[in-house]
Structure formats: structure tokens, C-alpha cells
């Protein structure tokens, strides 16, 4: 019998630890640092996040970044890779990953929108060429520590976490339902109260108003868990905000 071979603990690990950590890595590393270059993490922070995303999602940094940058360039109009306004909420909510993969098949997207992403030894030799293998390492670890049944259950839920919560809810619901703090040229909306679960990504209208602002919350009642992590890393000397990001934070503070 495995030490952690019990269904309630397996579910707890998936929902409150593994799932949240995965979404946090997407928000902090892929989204705020790589896509919008709002800050720079120390390798002591970015490398573990890159490796975790490799084994928990199998995503390639350049592909995710290119797709999301194109989303901002053509948001909710022709050319947007995953707009529920154009493709329907059901498709984006439940099959958002397929829309990402469809976008990756166009090499011009990577060339135009994928610039500036890592091209070091780790990326070239392991994370990109073997991106499909990482998730099977996670499967092995889940079975090793949780047992065959609980481990398989946890792995299955881990494989759906980012496709549904990260891609579906944020990209789908975040452009259909919720409230708006700012008038933008799209249909982005803030969705609450799932801030802790999605590391602030649910504050979608705020983000579309200022994409390169590393802080997604704008009102007193909004909570950006990702920003809390960033402040922690800053205090530890493991993260630095870009100059434009610092200016946006100063402006936002003066308006509140």
C-alpha cells in the first residue's frame, strides 16, 4: 500500500496543490514574463516552472506565447485563435487546446509572434523536442507516490486542468460573462470569485486594458494571487519588474 494511496488525499493534491501550481506557472512564467515581458524571473524560479510545465502540460513556450500574442493582436475579431465571440463558448470552453494546436500549425505565427522566448540548451535539447514525453514522467511519479488507481486518477485530472480552467474558462467565460472595469475594444470581462484557483487570470478585462501590467487586480475587492507570488519573489531578490511595468503600476496607484 502506498503512503498516499487514498482517494480524498489524491483529490486534494490535484485540486489544491498540483492544479493550482500548474495554473500559477502558466500565469507567472508563460503569460506575464514570456508573453508580455512585464517582469524577469531569476533562473532559480523560471527553470523549475519551465520543467513543471513540461511534465504537467507538455506545452512549448514559443507556441503558447505566439498564440497568446496573436490573441491580443486580433482579440475578438478575425484572426483571434480562440475567441468565443467568433467560435462559440462551447468550443473554446471544452476544446480550447485544439484551437491552440490549430494555430501552431501555421509557421508564420511562430515567426511573427514567438520572438524572444528561450533558446537555451534546456529548451533546444529537452523541453521542445521531447515536449510530448514530459506528461508520462508525471504519470510515473503519480503512480509511484499515489498508487495505480489514485495516481491514474490524479494524472487524468492534471491533464484536464489547464485545458479547461486555464484555456477554457479564462479564454471562454472571460470573454462572455462577468463585469468590466474598463472599456476596451473587445469583449473581455472579469470573472469572480475564482482568484486563488486561477492566480488572477480571471481578471481578464483588467488584463486586456493593460496587457503588460504585471498586476491584474484593479479594484479593492479583487484579488490577484499571481501578484502576491510576484511580490514574494521580488522581496527574495528572485524577480524584477520591467521599467514599463513599474510606470504602469505607478500610474494605476495615482488613479485609485
Q: Tell me, yes or no, if the pTM score tops 0.85.
A: yes
Cα(31)–Cα(25) distance, integer angstroms? 9
256 residues of the chain, pLDDT tens digit each: 454 555 677 677 776 788 889 999 999 999 999 999 999 999 999 999 999 999 999 999 999 999 999 999 999 999 988 888 888 888 888 877 788 888 888 888 899 999 999 999 999 999 999 999 999 999 999 888 888 888 888 898 888 888 887 778 888 888 988 999 999 999 999 987 666 678 899 999 999 999 999 999 999 889 999 999 999 999 999 999 986 655 555 555 554 5
DSSP per-residue letters across 8-46: HHHHHIIIIIIHHHHHHHIIIIIIIIIIT--EEE-HHHH
Residues in the chain: 256
Amino acid at each position: 500500500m502506498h503512503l498516499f494511496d487514498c482517494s480524498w488525499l489524491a483529490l486534494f493534491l490535484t485540486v489544491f496543490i498540483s492544479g493550482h501550481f500548474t495554473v500559477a506557472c502558466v500565469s507567472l512564467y508563460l503569460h506575464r514574463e514570456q508573453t508580455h515581458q512585464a517582469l524577469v524571473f531569476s533562473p532559480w524560479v523560471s527553470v523549475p516552472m519551465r520543467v513543471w510545465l513540461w511534465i504537467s502540460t507538455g506545452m512549448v513556450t514559443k507556441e503558447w506565447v505566439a498564440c497568446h500574442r496573436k490573441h491580443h493582436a486580433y482579440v475578438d475579431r478575425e484572426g483571434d485563435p480562440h475567441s468565443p465571440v467568433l467560435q462559440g463558448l462551447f468550443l473554446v470552453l471544452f476544446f480550447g487546446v485544439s484551437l491552440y494546436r490549430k494555430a501552431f500549425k501555421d509557421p508564420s505565427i511562430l515567426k511573427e509572434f514567438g520572438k524572444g522566448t528561450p533558446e537555451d540548451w534546456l529548451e533546444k535539447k529537452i523541453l521542445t523536442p521531447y515536449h510530448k514525453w514530459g506528461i508520462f514522467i508525471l504519470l510515473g511519479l503519480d503512480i509511484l507516490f499515489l498508487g495505480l488507481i489514485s495516481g491514474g486518477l490524479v494524472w487524468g485530472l492534471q491533464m484536464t486542468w489547464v485545458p479547461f480552467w486555464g484555456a477554457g474558462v479564462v479564454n471562454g467565460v472571460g470573454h462572455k460573462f462577468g463585469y468590466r472595469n474598463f472599456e476596451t475594444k473587445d469583449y473581455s470581462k472579469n470573472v469572480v470569485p475564482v482568484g486563488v484557483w486561477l492566480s488572477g487570470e480571471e481578471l481578464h478585462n483588467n488584463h486586456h486594458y493593460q496587457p503588460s501590467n504585471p498586476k491584474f487586480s484593479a479594484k479593492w475587492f479583487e484579488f490577484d494571487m499571481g501578484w502576491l507570488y510576484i511580490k514574494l519573489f521580488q522581496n527574495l531578490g528572485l524577480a524584477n519588474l520591467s521599467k514599463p511595468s513599474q510606470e504602469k503600476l505607478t500610474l494605476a496607484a495615482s488613479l485609485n
